Structure 1
Amino acid sequence: MAERKVVSGEVELWSEDFGDPRDPALLLIMGANASGVTWPEEFISLLVAGGHRVIRYDHRDTGRSTYRDFTRYPYSVTDLARDAVSVLDGHGVQRAHVVGLSMGGTLGQVLALDHRERLLTLTVMLTAALGVDFVGNMERASKGQPTLDGLPTPDPRVLAVLARRSEPVRDRASELDRRVAEWRALSGDKLPFDASEFRRYEERVIDHAGSLVQPSAHALATPVPLVRGAELRGITTPTLVIQGGQDPLNPPPHGLHLAQSIPGARLVELPNMGHALPSAIHQPLADAILEHTHRFA
């Protein structure tokens, strides 16, 4: 395991890699306002054992990467995708298997369109297709309104829990309690929820960042234009879509819609999975990813 800072334009991005540098690289891209250490090391170890050099990194404005005043230095979700390319450059990786979760899945789709020469395979999970108005759907869900495309909106009960992020941070214990409650809501109802496990995860995240304040700048980033959804039919990277059967933010059939939008894409649904990475889901999730990456090794 080796840490390094890589440069992307005017920002520095913290990153680290695991495993044998001679193995095929696999880049993990986390979701919005989440640092790279949100990927549990216990899960990463399964990917390393499966024959990959695994790289994770902190998005700008998270973890140990550069923080800047968004009002003075605005950026787009497409810029965040370019950051992922800079991470590959910084680690000397020409082509990699890319795995993106939630917003990371959005970035993965942009990479497959704009930087396809850098991808060996693409795995996107717990996410929506580029043509889906996720930001607008969150607003519609909060008002009890339907989507414009017939796909389900996020669960408004979960959005109410996420809204607590705007509350002032009081102390470490109360902040950990709030984050654990958030993960409980995101995890769904099928798998037993281990509060102590998610408290350990969030303690790592807080210690890594050196701050109790949860990042929020990505909510201000300019979204990928919805018209780019039509471009998905031009993706040539072998793509796996993983749908969490209990995902409250991108519930079924979002994964099916995305898989049908990309030629040759395969869909794997993990029926008990929510919008989280509990240890109970690590093995089946790693198995699905490794089956995909080995198929196109």
Structure 2
Amino acid sequence: MSEKIKFGVEHFGDRAAPLLLLAGGTTMLSWPDPLCQALARGGRHVVRYDLRDCGESTTADPDAPAYTLRDLAADAAALARELDDRPAHLAGIGVGGMVAQVAALDHSEVFSALTLVGTRPVAPGPVDGDLPDHDGATMGRLFSRPMPDWSDRTAVARFAADGAEILGDDPDAARVRAERIYDRAQSTAPAVQMANHLGMVFSKLDCGPRWRERLPELEVPTLVVHGRRDRFFPVGNGEALAREIPGARLLVLEQAATALPDTAADEVSAAMLSL
């Protein structure tokens, strides 16, 4: 991990306990507080962190990131080593789940378990023919909206709440989370706020080469968590991950969409702690 990169992190639980590292998707706040707290109560040192160009991590140029998906995977491995000299449980959500897959493949000696939440086995862009793509009607509604004034905290929070409602998530929870994300961002510059709220920086990354064909190489216990009502990465993506990773367990949250709801904290934490 480069000394020039600073990562925003938050700790839960006993720092001497086994490490459970949560990669943001893209900010750490995509991991709900109740889930982090439940995992800590289960005897883990839980650390959630912001990816580059998000939250309190180093912000350089979200419009033209000078790093790749492989660099983000190396970040996860280096951060895990820095926090604990024992192999860690790595979890990723959304695009953070893509980071986690590559990290576990490229740095297998660093990780002892893997949790993948609401993600898919291919990079942003055209999807493989056997995987369900984003729901077209939902994406049309989501991306036809005018951008908010990114310097206006209230407008940004309203935009996030409206988007959550389109996706089938809790708009009130999304509004509160957006306010927290806004307050933690490095600035109100549009590119910075879009990187934080929409993860737009991720679509600009070099995410090659493909890794899906390498998933059978994974030898760590793996949990795949997916919302049945997810319209962004439909549940067939999670089902594919569970099929292609040897021995992986699939937990489908019947009432969840894209975001992890607070009400799922006990069920998800129990499954993660069982790895």
- Of the candidates 175, 182, 185, which is equivalent to residue 209 of structure 1? 185
The alignment status of 1:41 with 2:22, answered yes or no, reads: no
Confirm or deny that 1:262 pairs with 2:245. yes
Residues 63 and 70 (structure 1), Cα distance of their counterparts in 2 relative to 1, 3 Å cut: closer
Render the CA deviation track for 1:17-75: whole Å, top value 9, x for unaligned: 111012111000122xx311332222211111111100111111011111112576521
- Give me the TM-score of the superposition, normalised by structure 2: 0.88
Aligned to 1:290: 273
Aligned-residue offset at 1:236: 0.7
Match of 2:71 among 79, 86, 110: 79
Q: For each residue in 1:79-134, what CA deviation from the matched residue of structure 2 results, as whole angstroms up to 9, or x when unmatched?
A: 111111222233244311111111111111112211111111101111111xx354
| Identical residues among aligned pairs (%) | 32
Tell me which of 94, 105, 125 is aligned to 1:102: 94
Mapped partners of 2:185, 2:151: distance in 1 = 17
In structure 2, runs of 5+ residues without a counterpart are: none
CA distance in 2, matches of 1:8, 1:155: 38
Match of 2:138 among 158, 174, 185: 158
- What are the within-5 Å matches in structure 2 for residues 207-286 of structure 1? 207-209=183-185, 211-212=187-188, 213-215=193-195, 216-226=200-210, 228-286=211-269
CA drift of 1:162 comes to: 4.3
- Scaled by the length of structure 1, the TM-score of the pair is 0.82
Q: 2 CA distance for matches of 1:284 and 1:107?
A: 24
Cα deviation, residue 291, structure 1: 2.3
Which residue in 1 is equivalent to 2:42? 50
| Other-structure match for 1:113 | 105
Assess if the C-alpha contact under 8 Å between 1:15 and 1:55 holds in 2: yes
Question: Aligned-residue CA RMSD in angstroms?
Answer: 2.2
Asked whether the 8 Å contact 1:235–1:262 carries over to 2, the reply is yes
Structure 1 distance, partners of 2:115, 2:64, is: 34
SS in structure 2 at match of 1:169: coil
Number of matched pairs: 266
Which of the residues 57, 60, 63 maps onto 2:55? Answer: 63
Corresponding residue number in structure 1 for 2:115: 123
For structure 1, list consecutive stretches of 5 or more residues without a partner in the other structure: 1-6, 138-147, 293-297
- Report whether the alignment pairs 1:199 with 2:175: yes
The separation in 1 between residues aligned to 2:231 and 2:34, in whole angstroms, is 24
After superposition, the Cα gap between the structure-2 partners of 1:46 and 1:162, relative to the gap in structure 1 and judged at 3 Å, is farther
Seen in structure 2, the aligned counterparts of structure 1 residues 278 and 268 have a Cα distance that, compared at 3 Å, is closer
User: Is contact 1:57–1:87 with CA below 8 Å preserved after alignment?
Assistant: no
Amino acid in the other structure paired with 2:70: T
1:246–1:176 distance in 2 versus 1, CA, 3 Å? same
Structure 1 range deviating more: 265-274 or 179-188: 179-188
